[in-house]
Amino acid sequence: MVIADQIALTAPHSPLSTSIKSNLYQKVCRKKWRSDLVIFVPILLIVTMVSSLFNTIQSVTISALERLSIKSGRRPWLIFVAAISAAVVWSAIAIPAQAYQFQILPSSPVRGDTLSVVIRTETAGEAPTVTVGGETYPSFLLSGNRYRAFIPTSPNTKAGKLTLQINGSEGNENVAVNIGARNFPTQYITLSGASADLEGTDYEFDRLDELRALRTPERYWNGPMGRPSTGYISSTYGLQRYYNGVFAEDYYHRGVDYAAGNGSPIYAPAAGKIIVVGRVEDGFELNGNTIGIDHGQGVTSVMIHLSGFAVKEGDQVEKGQLIGYMGSTGFASGPNLHWGLFVNGVAVDPVPWRYDGIE
Ligand SMILES: [Zn+2]
């Protein structure tokens, strides 16, 4: 016991070492007990608060108490007990030290929202990751020692508590976020003829999976996203569907549909790089003519059912740039643009990206 030894060495002539047989001394002791309590209870509280505030534990406060013990001539063992009690109380009530500072937006998210998690680490270094429900999402440097990760939610995300685990060189830390309830309407779709039998090809699925798997460190988008078509919105994000009377399990409408005339212009909703120009004749059977855009940092767009293209793969495009033309190719009942916005592979509601913008 280093502490006890120190006390024994530094306070050898305390009242404890004198005779305790004297009645007078015992009376004095009882009085002293009360005055000791009056002194040491506030000390215990102060030490507790000071310790939790400055996160410096016993050594400093105990040596201060030792000096106090010598000066005041009070019992060192009582001081020792007070110090230990303070340490116990401190460890019980102190908020665990946080390795990371973080901010999560929006403050009241609902299903379909994109969570923006800004993490500040103690020192600049490796970018932390965020794990949610077994999926691990990367973060990207914002500035200095600030990183940002996007956590997608969708109609498949349950309302209620969502636990985010921040992992990095400064340890792991859990933070709970409440996902608010949000209901999505149900749609009844009747399909007939050849389009109902379309199953899609591995080629189109693989190409789009590769696009959605991109976690490009560069960030191309800037500010709120733009409207990709001047047509009216014919289907909103997140709708549940019945096809020919059969409920589509785990299905939700993974985008927003715009309806306008065949051949009407389609614009890039945000800046990015054209990764996919997929043609019906090359195997884009279900999606029809398709454009895939990488906006960077895990954010991608898929535009399907096009009648034609105004870009080629590898092109860098700006927000609002003409990229193609509306059509009804693939699994479509009429001319429309389906715009799917993906965050780390999950189709999220584009509306917050369109109106509020996510920086
Ligand atoms: Zn659609």
CATH classification at residue 140: 2.60.40.1590
Question: What is the secondary structure of 68-121 as a DSSP string?
Answer: HHHHHT--HHHHHHHHHHHHHHHHHHSPPPPS-EEEEESSS-BTTPEEEEEEE-
Would you state the structure tokens that stand for residue 206, as one six-digit string? 């693989």
Q: Are residues 223 and 335 in the same domain?
A: yes
Q: 312 C-alpha vs ligand 1 centroid, how far in Å? A: 23
Q: Which of 93, 118, 149 is at the close of a domain?
A: 93
Q: 339 C-alpha vs ligand 1 centroid, how far in Å? A: 7
Q: 287 C-alpha vs ligand 1 centroid, how far in Å? A: 10
Q: What is the CATH number of the domain that holds 203?
A: 2.70.70.10
Q: Are residues 206 and 293 in the same domain?
A: yes
Q: 107 C-alpha vs ligand 1 centroid, how far in Å? A: 29
Q: 140 C-alpha vs ligand 1 centroid, how far in Å? A: 30
Q: Are residues 287 and 216 in the same domain?
A: yes
| Number of compact structural domains in the chain | 3
Is the Cβ–Cβ distance between 272 and 266 less than 8 Å? no
Q: Are residues 351 and 223 in the same domain?
A: yes
Q: Are residues 221 and 324 in the same domain?
A: yes
**CA separation for the pair 289, 200 (Å, rounded):** 12
Global pTM reads: 0.72
Residue 330 included in any domain: yes
Q: 36 C-alpha vs ligand 1 centroid, how far in Å? A: 77
Q: Are residues 302 and 202 in the same domain?
A: yes
Residue 185 included in any domain: no
Q: Which of 58, 74, 93 is at the close of a domain?
A: 93
Q: 303 C-alpha vs ligand 1 centroid, how far in Å? A: 9
Is residue 9 classed exposed, middle or buried when 0-12, 13-18 and 19+ CB atoms within 10 A define those classes?
exposed
Q: Which of 62, 77, 93 is at the close of a domain?
A: 93
Q: 351 C-alpha vs ligand 1 centroid, how far in Å? A: 14
Q: Are residues 208 and 308 in the same domain?
A: yes
**CA separation for the pair 180, 191 (Å, rounded):** 34
Q: Are residues 264 and 326 in the same domain?
A: yes
Q: 229 C-alpha vs ligand 1 centroid, how far in Å? A: 13
Residue 75 included in any domain: yes
Q: Hey, is 327 helix, strand or coil?
A: strand
Q: 149 C-alpha vs ligand 1 centroid, how far in Å? A: 27
Q: What is the pLDDT of residue 204?
A: 97
Is the Cβ–Cβ distance between 167 and 264 less than 8 Å? no
pLDDT, tens digit only, all 359 positions of the chain: 333 333 333 333 333 433 444 455 555 556 666 666 676 666 667 656 655 555 555 555 556 656 666 666 666 666 667 667 766 666 655 545 567 888 999 999 999 999 999 999 888 788 999 999 999 999 999 988 999 999 999 999 999 999 999 999 888 999 999 999 999 998 888 877 655 567 899 999 999 999 999 999 999 999 999 999 999 999 999 998 888 889 887 789 999 999 999 999 999 999 999 999 999 999 999 999 999 999 999 999 999 999 999 999 999 999 999 999 999 999 888 999 999 999 999 999 999 999 877 77
Q: 286 C-alpha vs ligand 1 centroid, how far in Å? A: 12
Give the range of the structural domain holding residue 209, as residue numbers without chain letter. 198-234+255-355
**CA separation for the pair 207, 201 (Å, rounded):** 10
Residue 31 included in any domain: yes
Q: Are residues 172 and 217 in the same domain?
A: no
Q: 239 C-alpha vs ligand 1 centroid, how far in Å? A: 9
- How many residues would you count in the chain? 359
Q: 8 C-alpha vs ligand 1 centroid, how far in Å? A: 79
Q: 105 C-alpha vs ligand 1 centroid, how far in Å? A: 27
